[in-house]
Amino acid sequence: MFHRGTSYLSVGQRDDDSAAPSSSPSSNGSFLRGIGCLILISCILFLITPAPNNTHHNGAKVPEHLSPHRRIVDPRERTRKLPVRVQSLLAQSQIVGDHLQEVKDGSKTVEEAIHLSTNKQGSGIGSSAHIGAGALSRNVKSAPMTLNEILAFLNSFVKKLTASNVKNKHATFHGIWSAYHDLVAKHLYPWDQEYLRRMPPRRQDGSIYLSVVSFRDEFCVETLKDAFNKAKNPDNLFIGLVQQNCEDEKCRRGSNVGRIQTAIIYFVAHLWEDTLQ
């Protein structure tokens, strides 16, 4: 465009508000540099992150369930949630629950389960590490225990247990359990070890011993009668019965079922009648 009164030629572009704005070169460069930085950081993170590997340093393949990245659980975490008294018994190896099947199969005795190191550090029967070792100093007979010996000890133990319960009647369950455990460890467990050494020889005549414990069961007599009636050889059936009855018209503890016939008295009376006939 030529302008009047000028000595030069001015050629320019007319401003137009409707023209589309254009991006500056500087803004485009900043955007591209940001994208490049992100790509570079991603590559660096990819390179420094170790890949999962189930191979030891010697090249041996590790099974998936034994991966070195697998969290190892401390076995003590299981016992930390148990009561303190149970933790104490576990620490002293005085729990045989994990070996009950072995004891039942006869492959391991209770003594072996409690004292796994029987011949190590003097922990066998009669040693200072043995539970109730002081009670084993008496002379041990070799003859089998008689029924009177067994009854005398069990009656004595029940009296001690009753006295312990009376003494600790206001104790918490921790104190009650501790008192019972100490009493059993001091008296019952050593006696049981002696009984195992003096057990009568096993009968080989096909006889059956039926152990029954009855607590105020009015059908106890009928149960024992049916056992003899249905036995193939009643003469070879032997029953050991522990029966607790309520002798009063109104029981002080437990369910009130009234007077119950004592099974032993019933059978002794009928056997006496059969003998007289």
Question: What does pLDDT average to over the chain?
Answer: 68
pLDDT at 196: 78
Q: What is the pLDDT of residues 232-269, one digit of tens each?
A: 998 899 888 887 766 666 666 655 555 555 666 666 55
Most confident of 6-15, 38-47, 104-113: 38-47
Using the predicted structure, report yes or no on whether residue 153 has a pLDDT greater than 90: yes
For 238, the 3-state DSSP assignment is: strand
pLDDT at 164: 94
Assigned token pair, 266: 């019933």
pLDDT category of residue 131 using cuts at 50, 70 and 90: very low
CA distance 230 to 237: 11
* Dihedral angle, C-alpha 111, 112, 113, 117, nearest 10 °: 120
Q: What is the pLDDT of residues 100-127, one digit of tens each?
A: 677 666 777 666 666 554 344 444 443 3
pLDDT at 9: 43
Mean pLDDT in residue range 77-94: 65
Using the predicted structure, report yes or no on whether residue 210 has a pLDDT greater than 80: yes
89 exposed, middle or buried (CB, 10 Å; 0-12, 13-18, 19+)?
middle
